[in-house]
A and B are shown apart, each in its own frame.
Chain A
């Protein structure tokens, strides 16, 4: 039995107050197992990013509990790594020093930091670009830096907020393959947020389908398929269809329509 790494118990998150009050997440319960690749899918605005922000410690819950290794999460910290949709690299740092930043903060010696960073830069396929500034890179390359930076200081949990959402379709597919390859090597606990069912089914050990706002868990689907997965495989398509079915109802709800009956 795998250990529970991240746990949400009756989690609630409300923004604003009075007439502007928005309930982003309510009565949200979830267990994320250690070394599992968990993907959250849900309609836009369902609070899936908000949940990730709370795991990161960027936002605080307004109710319920959120635990990491059984202890409440109170603030951000280097036991977690975060990959943003908009990359959020530091333009004044080169690729190398973006990746070493977390190690510098941890007080690792310059030589060790550089060695570690170079290994990660190689792993994400950016050899030769270590001295480039981010603005000279393409979107896909920037996100490779984002992933290397989040992994460099060896966090226990990797949080990814629609990391491929701003990439073009072709680059996106390549990055999904790359992430699978990297994850197989590192076997970290990953919580990945996306609204793409194709992506979710390709990457996940476990897919959590969320309801329209306020976000709750609508269904949990295990994806027990060998990697790398085939986007056209029979099993893959079967699972994808199942997830899509669950999600479609919620997307219609979020658009204010009643789901069509099959």
Chain B
């Protein structure tokens, strides 16, 4: 396959604004326009990353712990969120029971739960994982149930007249028909659970390492370089999770089927 012009130009346009910002940033700090005690220069932050990797790869442990919690909490959110969403989508009774509760709880920011979790579960891993679960659960359950309920009546009828039973209608019509919405929920949930992770790690004093913990601990030493390093990890981590996890799923399903526009 030959490399087309747009394959070079597209990533270039993505990187260009960053290069400009980093350049101006470095210049502003070096010329003393901005105090390096408040905003360290990009070169100092790069040095900080280097120190976080040698002699001990502290950063790897930090990332490992955060991702471990994220995956556990997110998986729990997907499992319970998709299941409940499906049940509420197919059963009017369950919809009527859970829908009011859901619409009330969905407006509570995930972090508002954390003090309660700290009291009930203690300042350890469980609190962080459950916070991540709560962050991912709501967008998933909400989008799953809306996806199922918005599958057109005609699509279901078309299956009924061919003699489809309930299971066939569910697996062959309702589930694929709501996939666009389910994927939206999964995608939103990555963002929400990533935020919940960082926040809960700051509040749960009992955990040993993590991105949020790293930023929070840096406060005690006025280590702004570590704070910026943490912020950069959070931003890039969130973006990568979204792209690496969700883009391939979308490409192989709803994009291929023409149910969403290709990016």
* A residues whose Cβ falls under 8 Å from a Cβ of B: 56-58, 75-78, 80-82, 84, 86, 88, 90-92, 101-102, 105-106, 133-136, 153
Chain B residues within an 8 Å CB radius of A78: 161-163
Are A134 and B163 within 8 A (Cβ)? no
- 21 A-B pairs (CB sep. < 8 Å): A58-B160, A76-B160, A77-B161, A77-B163, A81-B161, A82-B157, A84-B154, A86-B154, A88-B154, A88-B157, A90-B155, A91-B258, A92-B176, A92-B253, A92-B259, A101-B159, A105-B164, A133-B257, A134-B258, A135-B258, A153-B162
Closest residue on chain A to residue B164 by CB atoms:
A105
Closest A-B pairs by Cβ, 7 of them: A135-B258, A102-B162, A78-B163, A76-B160, A76-B161, A92-B176, A91-B257
Asked if B36 CB lies within 8 Å of chain A CBs, one says no
Q: Tell whether B247 is near chain A: CB-to-CB under 8 Å.
A: no
A135 touches B154 (CB 8 A): no
Q: Which residues of B line the A interface, CB within 8 A?
A: 152, 154-155, 157-164, 168, 172-173, 176-177, 179, 253, 256-259
Q: What separation, in Å, do the CA atoms of A86 and B158 have in the docked complex?
A: 11
* A187 shortest CB reach to chain B, Å: 21
User: A90 near B176 (CB under 8 angstroms)?
Assistant: yes
Supply 6 further A-B pairs (C-beta < 8 A) apart from A76-B161, A88-B155: A81-B161, A84-B158, A88-B158, A90-B172, A101-B159, A102-B162
User: How far apart are the CA atoms of A128 and B161 in the complex, in Å?
Assistant: 27
Q: How far is the CB of B181 from chain A (nearest CB, A)?
A: 14
Instruction: Considering the complex, give the chain A residue whose CB is closest to the CB of B153.
Output: A58
**What CA separation (Å) do A2 and B4 show in the bound complex?**
66
- Residue in B159, B163, B164, B177 whose Cβ sees the most chain A Cβ within 10 Å: B163
Q: Would you call A56 and B256 a contact (CB within 8 A)?
A: no
- A56: nearest chain-B partner, CB-CB: B161
Q: How far is the CA of A215 from the CA of B161 in the complex (A)?
A: 24
Complex contact A91–B164 (CB within 8 A):
no
Q: For B257, give its contact among A58, A86, A92 (CB under 8 Å).
A: A92
- Point out the residues of chain B lying under 8 angstroms from A90, CB to CB: 155, 158, 172-173, 176-177
B164 contacts across to A, CB distance below 8 A = 105
Distance in angstroms between the alpha carbons of A135 and B257 in the assembled complex: 7
Pick the contact of B256: A75, A88, A106, A133 (CB < 8 A): A133
Contact of B161 among A57, A92, A106, A135 (CB under 8 A): A57
A106 CA to B154 CA in the complex, in Å? 20
Q: Which residues of A contact B155 (CB under 8 A)?
A: 88, 90
Q: How far is the CA of A75 from the CA of B155 in the complex (A)?
A: 16
Query: Which one, B154, B157, B162, B257, contacts A101 given CB within 8 A?
Result: B162
Residues of B within 8 A of A81 (CB): 161
Report which residue of B161, B176, B177, B257 has the largest number of chain A beta carbons within 10 angstroms of its beta carbon: B161
B106 to chain A, nearest CB (A): 29
A58 to B160, CA, bound (A): 8
Query: In the complex, what distance in Å separates the CA atom of A106 from the CA atom of B160?
Result: 12
Kindly state the separation between the CA atoms of A180 and B161 in the bound complex, as whole angstroms.
23
Bound Cα distance A135, B177 (Å): 14
Cα(A92)–Cα(B254), bound, Å: 8
With A84-B158, A102-B163, A105-B163 known as contacts, the answer to whether A91 contacts B168 (CB < 8 A) is no
Interface centre among B154, B158, B176 (most CB of A within 10 A): B158
Of the candidates B157, B177, B259, the one having the most CB atoms from chain A within 10 angstroms of its own CB is B157
Q: Within 8 Å CB of B163, what residues of A?
A: 76-78, 102, 105-106, 153
User: Which of A76, A82, A88 is in CB contact (< 8 Å) with B152?
Assistant: A88
Q: Which residue of A lies closest to B163 (CB)?
A: A78
A136 B258 Cβ-Cβ under 8 A? yes
| A82–B161 touching, CB < 8 Å | yes
**Complex formed: what's the CA distance from A38 to B168 in Å?**
32
Q: How far is the CA of A20 from the CA of B161 in the complex (A)?
A: 29
Q: Which of B154, B155, B162 has the most CB of A within 10 A?
A: B162
**C-alpha gap A56/B257 in the complex (Å):** 28
A144 to chain B, nearest CB (A): 16
> Shortest Cβ distance from A155 into chain B, in angstroms?
8
Report the minimal beta-carbon distance from B128 to chain A, rounded to whole angstroms: 37
Q: With CB as the reference atom, state the residue of chain B lying closest to A58.
A: B157
